[in-house]
Structure 1
Amino acid sequence: MALFPFILVKEQTSKNDQVLINHERIHLRQQAELLVLPFYVLYLLNYVINLIHYRDHNSAYLNIIFEREAFKNEADLEYPGKRKFFAFLRYF
């Protein structure tokens, strides 16, 4: 979980999972762009709208625009450094 400016993991072994850490680094960039608090407001709002639309937690979560960007690019370890500002907007 990314909680600006930290990445929090449940298990010690997760610290070595490069894809997971990269996924969370993408979220840190998103949070920084939106000055943190608006990120959480938009994240929650997008989740609630998705939950109404999909009527399923997993589908609602996976279709949050911030998660769509992070999941699509998590395996590209160079992505956070080359990511354009507000790149999550492409995932509406």
Structure 2
Amino acid sequence: MILVSKYMVPKGYTGITLFPFVFVKHAHLKHNRVFVNHERIHLKQQLELLILPFFIWYGLEFLVRYLHYKNWHQAYRNISFEREAYQNEQDLEYLKKRPFWNFLKYLCKP
């Protein structure tokens, strides 16, 4: 379910996925197929890791990447979950063919 809420989305971002919801900052994003596909990839990732472990892993990986890059945006873009979502967001059929735990292949890539 996609909900519009500028208060749920952190500053500097346009959306956030908190299973089972996708919160977007602006209503027009609900109709952006690429953006929605990106967020649906996150829903699938969250389900695979049974939701809470996803957020723990996401947070820990962000911290490790932030210590490595010393740059918030670069750390965020290099989280394995984000790498998978950004790389495949344009492929609107991706979720139909996506292997289980596919984000792992993005974990160790430079």
Q: TM-score, normalised by structure 1?
A: 0.98
Following superposition of structure 1 onto structure 2, how do residues 8-47 of structure 1 map, counting pairs within 5 Å? 8-47=23-62
> What are the within-5 Å matches in structure 2 for residues 54-69 of structure 1?
54-69=69-84
Structure 2 letter corresponding to 1:55: K
Q: Structure 1 unaligned segments of length 5 or more: list them.
A: none
Higher helix proportion: 1
Unpaired segments of 5 or more residues in structure 2? 1-15
TM-score by length of 2: 0.82
Q: Which segment drifts farther, 3-12 or 59-68?
A: 3-12
Q: Which has the higher contact order (CA 8 A, sep 6+)?
A: 1
Instruction: Name the aligned partner's letter for residue 23 of structure 2.
Output: L
SS, match of residue 2 in structure 1: strand
2:88 to 69, 73, 84: 73
| Higher mean C-alpha displacement, 2-11 vs 53-62 | 2-11
Deviation at 1:19, TM superposition (A): 0.5
- The count of residues paired between Structure 1 and Structure 2 equals 92
What is the CA–CA distance in structure 2 between the aligned matches of 1:51 and 1:73, rounded to whole Å? 23
Higher strand share: 2
